Amino acid sequence: MRRVFSGIQPSGEMHLGNYLGAVRRWVADQERYDAIYCVVDLHAMTVPYDVAELAGRTRELAMLLMAAGLDPQRCVLFVQSHVPAHTELTWILNCVATVGELRRMTQFKEKSHGQESVSAGLFDYPVLMAADILLYDTNEVPVGEDQRQHVELARDVAIRFNHRYGETLVVPEATFPPVAARVKDLQDPRAKMSKSSESPHGTLNVLDPPEVLTKKIRSAVTDSGTEVRHDPEEKPGISNLLDLYAAATGTGIEKAEAELAGSGYGDFKRRVADALVEFLRPLRERYAELAGDPSEVSRQLELGAVKAETIATAVLDRVRRVTGLLPRHPA
């Protein structure tokens, strides 16, 4: 079976864009693939962060992933810092990646721009990500478009490594969700919904209580005119709400449009809100159950770390052998 690996950072709350654009696909993939998913807490340390919050956010994100349907019996779900092989392989790959290629990374340029002080970790972020991927003999890496360059770097590093030390690492491929999976900001429907949005009302978090979801949808920016029609160019606000309705009810856009075409904007928004509240209800309920049983969550994450470590250790042993490091125990 082909192996997929993907990671998500425990920074900010999970919003509907993350869920519909990424996590839902991970849930479906665990049936068809040998799937490994990781909460990448070490990546979250590359920019200034709140020390008191990191562990809690890491745990919450893991619970959200489980509540969304990732089943620790059917995939491997673990926390990056629990498997030290990630940082060890990062060091070895640091000696294969070049400063020149890291300097070209768009995300580094964007995140470091205008900052007075930039951590070496932010510069090295893509090498840690390459280690995440290469440690598991990964075939496919489902990511958003913004991560294309990082997966490309992981490929280049694997190819260069294999060239220098002999065939050792599997060269991975990135896969992308369909473009239509972009959820837009409710207050600015030409921009994507994002954790770092300017307006908190533009982002629907998956754990928002029903009344908050309803309120955010009620205040969503609409377009001039009164017609409910799917037309992303002329009517980006209405089209985004129609997309959300279609995703929440599992219907196609055309059917959603036909169902809602006659309603005024107020009624239309009420129906979108009701559909989303129902759609997210099982996730909220499952999350509440998990939150009530912290020792079970810890147990699942420990099991995930053990499974991940078994795979990672074998790959790292291979890497240690070919790179000429002295074995600790004589063979």
User: Could you list the residues that contact ligand ATP (CB under 6 A)?
Assistant: 8-9, 17-18, 21-22, 143-144, 181-183, 192-196
CB of 177 to ligand ATP, least distance (A): 7
DSSP code, position 263: S
Contact partner at residue 129 from ligand LTN, ligand ATP, none, CB < 5 to 8 Å by partner kind: ligand LTN
Measured in degrees and rounded to the nearest 5, phi and psi for residue 252 equal -80, 165
In 3D, which of 230, 275, 270, 267 has the Cα closest to residue 250?
A: 275
Q: Is the CB of 121 or the CB of 144 nearer to ligand ATP?
A: 144
Length of the chain: 331
Q: Is the CB of 135 or the CB of 221 nearer to ligand LTN?
A: 135
Active-site residue, 235 included:
no
Residue of 30, 90, 147, 214 that binds ligand LTN (CB under 6 A): 147
Question: Six-digit token pair at 51?
Answer: 């020390």
Residue 114 backbone class (left: φ over 0; alpha: ψ -120 to 50; beta: rest): left
Q: Is the CB of 147 or the CB of 222 nearer to ligand LTN?
A: 147
Question: Six-digit token pair at 142?
Answer: 């489902």
User: Per rule CB under 6 A, is residue 89 in the interface with ligand LTN?
Assistant: no
Question: Six-digit token pair at 301?
Answer: 């994450």
Contact partner at residue 141 from ligand LTN, ligand ATP, none, CB < 5 to 8 Å by partner kind: ligand LTN
Contact partner at residue 25 from ligand ATP, ligand LTN, none, CB < 5 to 8 Å by partner kind: none
In 3D, which of 102, 193, 87, 91 has the Cα closest to residue 149?
A: 102
User: Per rule CB under 6 A, is residue 90 in the interface with ligand LTN?
Assistant: no
User: Per rule CB under 6 A, is residue 141 in the interface with ligand LTN?
Assistant: yes
Q: State the pairing for strand pair 76-79/140-142.
A: unpaired
What are the residues whose beta carbons fall under 8 Å from the beta carbon of 218, sequence distance 6 or more?
269, 270, 273
Residues that bind ligand LTN (CB under 6 A): 5-7, 9, 40, 43, 129, 132-133, 141, 143, 147, 150
Active site residues: 111, 192, 195
